[in-house]
Amino acid sequence: MIVMRLLSSLKHDESERGIFHLGRALVKKDHTSIIISSADNDNELVKRLEREGNLYHQLYMNKKSWAALLQIIPLRHLIEKYNPDVIHVHSRTPAWILHLALRRARVKRLPKIVSTMYGFYPINKYSQALLDVDTIITVSDSVTNYLTKGLRREEMGRKVIKRIYRGVDTRRYPYRHNPSVYWLRRTFAEFPELEHKKWLVFPTVIGNEYGQEWLIDILGNLQEQFPLIHAIIMDEDYREGDVAHEDFRQRMNALGLGERVTYVGSKRNDMREWLSAANIVMALANQPESIGINALQAIHLGTPVVGWDQAAFSEILQPLYPQGLVKKYNAQALCKAVRNQLEGVTRPEMTNQFTMREMIDETIKVYQKLYEEALSEEQARLDAYTTSKIKKHLKAAAKPFSKVSDHFISNEDIRPNDKLKGDAKVSLVKQKAVKKALNRDLK
């Protein structure tokens, strides 16, 4: 089986898409894995893919870029070269380029197309290319429900939707992982205010949709009861022109809470250490989350998570850590949940749900099913073609016999009177022959 995957960029969080793990699994199963993205060939991520046996090609299909239309013909050439059985598109711009490239592609068999809906994309013309496929993979039940409600009933009849949760690599995020002494010393040297504190890790950047303003309520209401409480935000301490960032900083400083917050930056490669060292990981997004990967990683590490009972957070915490769910969307309920965790720590239990292995296996099953469907359809077309050729051959062979039969008259075609006349003529001939023979004997 030949699988081609199209991505806008490799810089997205690979833990969500499973780019490397999926490619490795395909190669191990003796399939061909082809990845097309905008990353340069000398990129470290690309080299890693190629080391694991993937074939890589660079095409600039950046999001919402008109320049991506220039890649239609190059992509068509690659499709004609490899004749992939399955093509998996991971975002909307590559999906459009693919649909345009397939229009005049000269291939033995059109590939089956799979798309993944990673979020609550608007159901509009731009998203249509992700929907006009053989199978749509959604990353959570929340996205599936959103999609089924957004599509019209007549469109839903043709859609095959498969929900596959994003998974965590349990080897990289093992249960009860502890940061090294070296990492702790380096962190305390860089951020001395964090030593001996109760860490509330906010694992995303600041934005209107991420809910950082709820930290103000938590710190303001619990600072007297827990004087060592401290918030850690995975964002820069200053971003010029960012209204949400500036508003949050001003409110924190106005309430005298500025010293209880540390900004550690967004471009870090030690997220695992921060999540495992945290006392609580906060999942406070104001808008429904489709994946919630940071909360999921924290759960697998054994770190308590407190988050809203909605969308992906609810789907993750309900089966794995229900005591971390905040059902009422208000500051009082949120502070109560945080207080309960700080007073009596109850860690999530070890789980084998939401794993990278499960995600990879389910995705390959989708590929395999589509591949088998393609083979069945091809065999059906071949059988229909063969049957048609045999019928034409038999029809052509029967024509000469029908022409010859036109020159013969069967007994059924002769009328009764005609038969009697014929018999009389035969009798007269016989009589004449007998007379001739008797005359010869007499002589």
Q: Which two tokens stand for residue 259?
A: 């010293």
**Cα(419)–Cα(426) distance, rounded to whole angstroms?**
11
Return the pLDDT at 440. Answer: 56
Return the pLDDT at 433. Answer: 56
Walk across the sheet containing 305-308 and list its strands: 261-263, 229-233, 198-202, 280-283, 305-308, 325-326
Q: Point out which residues pair with 33 in neighbouring strands.
A: 3
- Show the 3-state SS of the chain: CEEEEECCCCCCCHHHHCHHHHHHHHHHCCCEEEEEECCCCCCHHHHHHHHCCCEEEECCCCCCCHHHHHHHHHHHHHHHHHCCCEEEECCHHHHHHHHHHHCCCCCCCCCEEEEEECCCCCCCCCCHHHHCCCEEEECCHHHHHHHHHHCCHHHHCCCCEEECCCCECCCCCCCCCCCCHHHHHHHHHHCHHHCCCEEEEECCCCCCCCCCCHHHHHHHHHCCCCCCEEEEECCCCCCCCCHHHHHHHHHHHHCCCHHHEEECCCCCCCHHHHHHHCCEEEECCCCCCCCCHHHHHHHHHCCCEEEECCHHHHHHHHHHCHHHEECCCCHHHHHHHHHHHHHCCCCCCCCCCCEHHHHHHHHHHHHHHHHHHHHHHHHHHHHHHHHHHHHHHHHHHHHHHHHHHCCCCCHHHCCHHHHHHHHHHHHHHHHHHHHHHHHHHHC
Yes or no: say if 306 and 331 are a contact pair by the CB < 8 Å rule. no
Measured in Å, how far apart are the chain's first and last C-alpha atoms? 99
Return the pLDDT at 391. Answer: 81
As a whole number, the mean pLDDT across the chain is 86
Q: How many residues does the chain have?
A: 443
Cβ burial 168-201 (10 Å sphere, 16+ → b, else e): bbbeebeeebebeeebeeebeeeeeebeebbbbb
Per residue in 292-319, pLDDT (tens digit) is 899 999 999 999 999 999 999 999 999 9
CA contacts within 13 A on the Cβ side of 143: 24
Q: Specify the pairing of strand 261-263 against strand 135-138.
A: unpaired
Return the pLDDT at 427. Answer: 53
Yes or no: say if 219 and 231 are a contact pair by the CB < 8 Å rule. yes
Q: Point out which residues pair with 199 in neighbouring strands.
A: 230
Which residue carries 């250490």 as its tokens? 273
Walk across the sheet containing 161-163 and list its strands: 55-58, 32-37, 2-6, 86-89, 112-117, 135-138, 161-163
Yes or no: say if 284 and 211 are a contact pair by the CB < 8 Å rule. yes
Closest by Cα among 338, 288, 330, 344 to 313: 288
Return the pLDDT at 381. Answer: 83
One pLDDT digit (tens) per residue for the chain, 443 residues: 999 999 887 765 454 567 888 999 999 999 999 999 888 888 888 888 899 999 999 998 877 777 888 889 999 999 999 999 999 999 889 999 999 999 988 888 899 999 999 989 888 888 888 998 999 999 999 999 999 888 875 566 667 899 999 999 999 999 999 999 999 999 999 999 999 999 999 999 999 889 999 999 999 999 999 999 999 999 998 888 889 999 999 999 999 999 999 999 988 889 999 999 999 999 999 988 999 899 999 999 999 999 999 999 999 999 999 999 999 889 999 999 999 999 988 899 999 999 999 999 999 999 999 999 989 888 888 888 888 888 887 877 776 655 555 554 444 444 555 444 445 554 555 555 545 654 554 45
**Cα(326)–Cα(346) distance, rounded to whole angstroms?**
16
- Show the 3-state SS of 127-167: CHHHHCCCEEEECCHHHHHHHHHHCCHHHHCCCCEEECCCC
**Cα(415)–Cα(430) distance, rounded to whole angstroms?**
23
Q: What is the reported pTM?
A: 0.82
Amino acid present at 329: Y
